[in-house]
C-alpha cells in the first residue's frame, strides 16, 4: 500500500543528488490557501497523490516549474503541489500570536457574523489554524474575527475552535479517534475530509504532542517508539500490518478489549473499529509499537 510513496521518497533522493550539481534554488515559503492541497509524486495531475497539506499550513518550496512547486511540508514530506493552491508569504502563517485551532471535523468561515446572509467564505478541516484579530469574541461570545492566509478578514464561530489547545492523554486520543468513525478513506489523505491509515495515526499521535513520520513503514521503524509484544498490548499502542515486518502496508491504534481503530479500505472504506482477533487482521499483524 505504501509502495508508491516509497518510490516518491526514492525520487526525492534522486532529485536532491541532481540538485547538488545545479545552481542553488532559493527556498521560498508558501501558505496553503485551499481547504486541502494534494501533494503529488510528480508535477502532474496524472501522478499519484503521496500526501496532503491543509489550509493555513506553511510549506517550503524546494523547486518550481510552470504551475507547480515541489514543497516540503512541516513533517518533512516532499512532493509536488499546484501553484494555485499556494500563496507566497514572508513569514509563517499562524505561527505566533493568538491562534484559533479548529476542533470539529470541519468549520465554516464567514464574511460576517451570520450563518444565513451569505455562504461560507471557506470550509476548513480539523486542525486548521487561523490567526485571530479580535481581542474578544463578539455577539455573546459566539464569533471570533480572524485573518485568512490571503489577507482577508473573516469570522468563525467560537464553538468550532479553541484558543488553548492541549496535549491529549491516551484515553482522550482514543475518544477523539472515535469521532472520525465513518470519515471516508482517501489515499494520501491527511485531513478530516479523508485520511489514509498512516495519516490518521499521525494525526492522533500529533494530538498527543508526538510528531511521528508520515508513512506506516517509517513509523514502525521510528526511533520514537519501542516494540511491544502482542500479549502486552495497551490502549494507545500502534499496530502495523503487512506480509512481513519488512513490508508494512497498514496501521491502526489499539483501543483495548482486542479492538483497534483504523482507516481502511476493507469493507466500507472509512475510519472504523475492528477486532484484532479476526483471522484477517490477526494473520497480517506483524509489529506493534508504543511511544517512548
Confidence at 15, pLDDT banded by 50, 70, 90: very low
Query: What is the pLDDT at residue 27?
Result: 78
Q: pLDDT at residue 40 above 50?
A: yes
Query: What is the pLDDT at residue 136?
Result: 72
Q: Is 268 a known active-site residue?
A: no
The pTM of the full predicted model, rounded to 2 decimals, is 0.90
Q: Which of 19, 101, 262, 268 is catalytic?
A: 262
Query: What is the pLDDT at residue 6?
Result: 55
Decide which of 9 and 265 is more confident: 265
Q: Is 262 a known active-site residue?
A: yes
SS3 for 257?
Answer: coil
Nearest 5°: CA angle at 266, between 260 and 269? 95
Q: pLDDT at residue 100 above 70?
A: yes
Q: Is 197 a known active-site residue?
A: yes
Grid cell of 87 as nine digits: 500563496
SS3 for 169?
Answer: coil
Helix ranges (H only) for 150-196 are 170-178
Query: What is the pLDDT at residue 16?
Result: 43
Q: Which of 19, 118, 250, 268 is catalytic?
A: 250
Q: What structural domains does the chain harbor?
A: 3-88 (2.30.30.40), 99-162 (2.30.30.40), 170-291 (3.90.1720.10)
SS3 for 198?
Answer: helix
Mean pLDDT, residues 93-116 taken together:
97
Query: What is the pLDDT at residue 175?
Result: 98
Q: pLDDT at residue 44 above 80?
A: yes
Query: What is the pLDDT at residue 7?
Result: 56
Cα dihedral 182, 188, 192, 197 sign: positive
Q: DSSP assignment, residue 2? A: -
Q: Which of 19, 101, 118, 197 is catalytic?
A: 197
Amino acid at each position: 500500500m505504501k509502495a508508491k510513496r516509497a518510490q516518491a521518497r526514492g525520487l526525492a533522493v534522486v532529485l536532491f543528488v541532481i540538485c547538488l550539481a545545479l545552481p542553488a534554488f532559493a527556498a521560498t515559503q508558501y501558505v496553503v490557501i485551499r481547504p486541502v492541497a494534494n501533494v503529488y509524486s510528480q508535477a502532474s495531475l496524472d501522478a499519484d497523490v503521496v500526501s496532503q497539506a491543509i489550509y493555513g499550513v506553511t510549506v517550503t518550496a524546494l523547486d518550481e516549474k510552470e504551475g507547480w512547486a515541489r514543497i516540503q511540508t512541516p513533517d518533512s514530506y516532499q512532493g509536488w503541489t499546484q501553484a494555485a493552491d499556494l500563496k507566497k508569504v514572508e513569514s509563517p502563517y499562524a505561527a505566533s500570536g493568538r491562534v484559533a485551532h479548529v476542533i470539529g471535523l470541519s468549520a465554516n468561515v464567514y464574511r460576517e457574523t451570520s450563518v444565513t446572509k451569505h455562504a461560507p467564505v471557506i470550509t476548513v478541516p480539523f486542525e486548521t489554524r487561523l490567526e485571530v484579530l479580535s481581542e474578544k469574541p463578539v455577539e455573546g461570545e459566539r464569533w471570533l474575527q480572524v485573518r485568512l492566509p490571503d489577507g482577508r478578514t473573516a469570522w468563525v464561530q467560537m464553538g468550532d475552535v479553541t484558543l488553548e489547545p492541549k496535549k491529549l492523554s491516551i484515553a482522550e486520543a482514543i475518544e477523539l479517534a472515535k469521532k472520525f468513525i465513518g470519515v471516508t478513506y482517501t489515499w494520501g489523505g491527511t485531513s478530516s475530509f479523508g485520511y489514509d491509515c498512516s495519516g490518521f495515526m499521525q494525526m492522533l499521535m500529533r494530538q498527543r504532542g508526538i510528531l511521528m513520520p508520515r508513512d506506516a513503514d517509517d513509523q514502525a521503524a521510528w526511533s520514537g517508539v519501542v516494540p511491544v509484544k502482542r500479549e502486552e498490548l495497551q490502549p494507545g499502542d500502534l499496530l502495523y500490518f503487512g506480509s512481513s515486518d519488512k513490508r508494512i502496508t497498514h496501521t491502526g491504534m489499539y483501543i483495548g478489549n482486542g479492538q483497534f481503530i483504523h482507516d481502511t479500505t476493507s469493507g466500507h472504506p472509512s475510519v472504523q473499529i475492528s477486532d484484532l482477533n479476526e483471522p484477517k487482521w490477526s494473520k497480517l499483524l506483524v509489529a506493534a509499537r508504543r511511544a517512548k
